[in-house]
Amino acid sequence: MALTNTQYDEIMHDYETLRTIKRRELTKRIKYVEQHVPGYLVLEQETGKRSAAFGRRLLNGEKLDRSELHRQLVEVSEQKKSLLREANLPVDYLEMQYECPLCKDTGYVGSEKCSCFKQRVIERLYAQSNINRLAEDANFDLMSEEYYTGEDLDHFRGAVKTSKEFIKNFETLYPNLLFYGTVGTGKSFLSICIAKEILDMGHSVLYFSAASLFSLLQTNSFDFKKSDELRTLLDDLYNTELLIIDDLGTEHVTNNSIPQLFTCINERLIRNKSTIITTNFSLDDIKSMYSERVSSRIASTYHLCKLTGRDIRIMKKVQNRK
C-alpha cells in the first residue's frame, strides 16, 4: 500500500500540469485587462518605474525614507484596484488563482507534504476514497427536504444542523458522528457532504464502506508478505484527519473484525482524529453485533444522529418512472 516512485511522480506531474494550467489562465486574464481596462497597463509599468528609480537614488547615496516608496506603491495599487472594480472585475483578478493556496499547487509547504498532497495519495491508494467524485452527487448545495415529513423532517433538520456544527468545530474539538436509522434516509449523503467541506478546508479524508474496509484489513492481516501494506493501512486509518466508515453492519463480521473496529475507534480518539460512522443499526444492534465495548465507546464519545423515513432511493425511482 506504500506509495511507489511511479505514483509519487504521477502526483508531482499532476501538480506541474495544474500550475501550467493556472499560468495560462492568468496570461489570458492579463491580456483581457490590457485590452479592456484602459490605463491599467500604464499603472502596472508605473510600479516598476518607481521602484527602479528609488533603487537608483539609493545606489547614488541618497538617504531616503523607504516608507515613502511603500506609500507610493500602495497608492498605485489602489488605483489599479479601482480600475478593476470599475470594469466589474474582482480586485484579485490578476493574482495567481491556486487550487490549493496553502502550497500554491506544489504539494509542499516548506519541507512538509501539504494536506492536498496527502489527499491525492489517499485517492491513489484507496480507489473507494475518491470523495471528490462522490461529492459531485452529494453536497450541501444538492440537499433537499422534499422527501421528509413530520418527525422524519425534524430528524433530518437536526442531523443537518449537527453536520454543520461538526464542520465548524472540526479543527478545535475533533468531533465524532454516528448517523444511524432506517435504510435510504440520507446518512451516507450527509457524511459525504461533510467530507467535501472538510476537504475544502484543506484536511485529508479517508472514506470506506465497512465491507471494503474489513475485507482489506482481513486480506492484509492474514498474508505475512503484506505486513508492510498492513502497517501503512493502519497508519492511514489511525491518522487521517477524517475517517468515514459507511454502512457499518453490511460487512462480514468475524472474530477478528470486532477488535479491529474497536482498535480503530479507540486509536483515533486517543489521537484526536475525527470519525464518522453510518449504519442502519441501533446502538443495541451494535452492542449485540460488535460487543459492549464498541457500543459503549461510540455512545460516550460520538454525537448520535438518528434519521428516519422512507427509502429516498426508492422514492426517486418511482418519480422517474412517472
Residue type, 257: S
Q: What is the mean pLDDT of each run of 10 residues along the chain (322 residues)?
A: 72 95 95 91 84 83 80 87 93 92 94 89 68 81 92 96 97 96 95 91 88 86 70 87 94 88 96 97 94 95 96 83 69
State the Cα–Cα distance between residues 315 and 22, nearest whole angstrom. Answer: 43
| Partners of residue 245 on adjacent β-strands | 208, 277
State the Cα–Cα distance between residues 239 and 245, nearest whole angstrom. Answer: 14
pLDDT tens track for 260-290: 999 999 999 999 999 999 999 999 999 999 9
The pLDDT of residue 209 is 92
Reference 37, options 71, 98, 79; nearest CA is 79
Q: What is the 3-state secondary structure (H, E, C) of 45-114?
A: HHHHHHHHHHHHHHHCCCCCCHHHHHHHHHHHHHHHHHHHHHCCCCCCCCCCCCCCCCCCCCCEECCEEC
* Three cell numbers, residue 259: 477488535
Residues in Cβ contact with 280 at an 8 Å cutoff, skipping those fewer than 6 apart:
180, 181, 182, 183, 247, 249
| Cβ atoms of 311 and 183 closer than 8 Å | yes
The pLDDT of residue 224 is 59
The pLDDT of residue 70 is 83
| Cβ atoms of 249 and 279 closer than 8 Å | yes
Q: Domain segments of the chain: what residues?
A: 126-321
pTM summary value: 0.70
pLDDT tens track for 31-50: 999 899 999 888 888 888 88
State the Cα–Cα distance between residues 45 and 38, nearest whole angstrom. Answer: 13
Reference 118, options 239, 250, 246; nearest CA is 239
Query: What is the CATH T-level fold of the domain 126-321, as seen in this structure?
Result: Rossmann fold (3.40.50)
Residue type, 186: G
| Strand arrangement, sheet containing 274-279 | 205-209, 242-248, 274-279, 177-181, 303-307
The pLDDT of residue 137 is 83
